Amino acid sequence: MTGIIFSDLGQASSFMALGWVQELLKQCLGYNPFPATLNLRPKAAQDTQVWRRVLSEFPGTPLAPATSSFCSAKLYRVEIQSPASTEKISGAVLLPEVKDYPQDKIEIVAPVRLKDHLSVDDGDSLTLEFLN
């Protein structure tokens, strides 16, 4: 699926910097993720359909919070690619399990800061390939 990069509130960076979050993600993904997420929105209706199908057909990897003051989440492994590059980067969609979470917001974690590594910015597109 293809998504368009957008900036949001920046709240994920404080969550991603927590030691228990970094350790949990390292255990699940095999690497220390960059301590922030990259936000995407599906580019077109067909991309929205792919995202909805992933949510309904893929179980994802559940992430339990360290304390009850945080929410549960799910991880969906992906390969990330910029249209300007043949390089694929391993990453994951981090989906918080909270009420009223935007259905079209896709938060990506990766071992690098994707905007810098892929030379992309808000409004640019990225392609995600969901892995089982």
Residue 101: give its domain's CATH number: 2.40.30.30
What is the number of domains present in the chain? 1
- Nearest residue to 82 via CA among 118, 123, 47, 110: 118
pTM of the model: 0.88
- Where residue 130 falls among pLDDT bands split at 50, 70, 90? very high
pLDDT at 77: 95
Number of C-beta neighbours around residue 78 at 10 A? 24
> To which H or E segment does residue 89 belong?
strand 89-96
The range of the structural domain enclosing residue 50 comes to 2-130
- Mean pLDDT, the chain, integer: 88
Per residue in 60-108, pLDDT (tens digit) is 988 776 666 666 788 999 999 998 888 999 999 998 877 888 999 999 9
| Token pair in block for residue 108 | 């990506």
